[in-house]
Amino acid sequence: MTADTRQARSHPSGLARSARLLQLYRREPVDPTPFYEFLATDTVEVLHRHGAAVEGLVVDVGGGPGYLAEAVRRAGGHCLVVEYEEAELHLHERVPDGAVVGDGQALPLRSSVADVVHSSNVLEHVRDPRRLIDEMVRVLRPGGLVYLSFTPWWSPWGGHETSPWHFLGGRRAAERYHRRTGQEAKNLYGRNLFELHLPTVRRWLRSEPRVETVWEGPRYWPPSWAPLCRVPAVGEVVTWNYLAVLRRVA
């Protein structure tokens, strides 16, 4: 049995997976690596389940220090990280093997080159999220898969480090954070954190003729809870973090 197979077999599923994610997530501020490594392994699992060619070329838009890149490498593939902030490539004393500094809204890649295009929690950080989706689809080859996740604004974590005060307004939450800590939030409302709602993104995905949705639902909850993301209004809150797996069909 290869190390990869052993890892896949030991990776929890269903409620056990969600409980483990929650446990690691709560420790993330003091010990980030276990959470991001678990999530990266989990992402490769999800991609395999949907038949993605992970052993081909994976592009990770906004991939930071390369946790997914490492998991893809272990699975026998090659991952190119396209990251906007050079400093993010060096987080947690890591740096991805293959990375370029570039904007996901104008990917420095030719069309139809990637087998998989991945973006985790980047969409709510860009001024033109629709353009980012458009670019992800452009560089994907027909038949390839997109893995797209983001935190909707009305998620309990929608305001990121200013949560839950974002429920009273993003600007107010950012001002409160500044007053309390003496510094600006890293994810600053209006600069690199924007109000992006789940129904808006779902509508865009449905209206994009080049892709079909293979799976959508709350990323951290058991797959059987997928319908939560379709519940009007409250669905955005309880989904917490949304995941769509898309296939390029044209």
The token pair at 110 is 């030719």
Q: How far is the CB of 1 from ligand SAM (least distance, A)?
A: 29
Q: What is the C-alpha separation between 58 and 77, in angstroms, rounded?
A: 7
User: Of the ranges 77-85, 161-169, 176-184, 233-241, which one interacts with ligand SAM (CB under 6 A)?
Assistant: 77-85
Residue 66 engages ligand SAM in binding (rule: CB under 6 A): no
Residue 190 to residues 30, 84, 121, 157, 228, Cα–Cα distance (Å) = 27, 17, 16, 16, 28
CB atoms within 10 A of CB 218: 22
Residue 158 engages ligand SAM in binding (rule: CB under 6 A): no
Near ligand SAM by CB under 6 A: residue from 4, 55, 88, 134: 88
Near ligand SAM by CB under 6 A: residue from 25, 84, 157, 215: 84
- Among residues 84 and 167, whose Cβ is nearest to ligand SAM? 84
Residue at shortest CB range from ligand SAM: 62
Near ligand SAM by CB under 6 A: residue from 42, 70, 83, 115: 83
Residue 201, C-beta contacts closer than 8 angstroms, at least 6 positions apart? 123, 129, 133, 150, 152, 242, 244
Subset of 91-150 contacting ligand SAM (CB under 6 A): 103-105, 120-122, 125-126
Strand order in the sheet with 114-120: 99-101, 78-83, 57-61, 114-120, 140-150, 242-248, 211-218
Q: How far is the CB of 249 from ligand SAM (least distance, A)?
A: 25
Q: How far is the CB of 62 from ligand SAM (least distance, A)?
A: 3
Subset of 22-61 contacting ligand SAM (CB under 6 A): 36, 61
Residue 48 to residues 31, 58, 72, 197, 234, Cα–Cα distance (Å) = 28, 13, 11, 28, 31
Residue 6, C-beta contacts closer than 8 angstroms, at least 6 positions apart? none
Report the DSSP beta bridge partners of residue 116.
58, 145
Nearest to 118 by CA among 79, 92, 86, 155: 79
Residue 62 engages ligand SAM in binding (rule: CB under 6 A): yes
Give the binding-site size for ligand SAM (rule: CB under 6 A): 18
Q: How far is the CB of 73 from ligand SAM (least distance, A)?
A: 16
Give me the residues that bind ligand SAM (CB under 6 A), please.
36, 61-64, 82-85, 88, 103-105, 120-122, 125-126
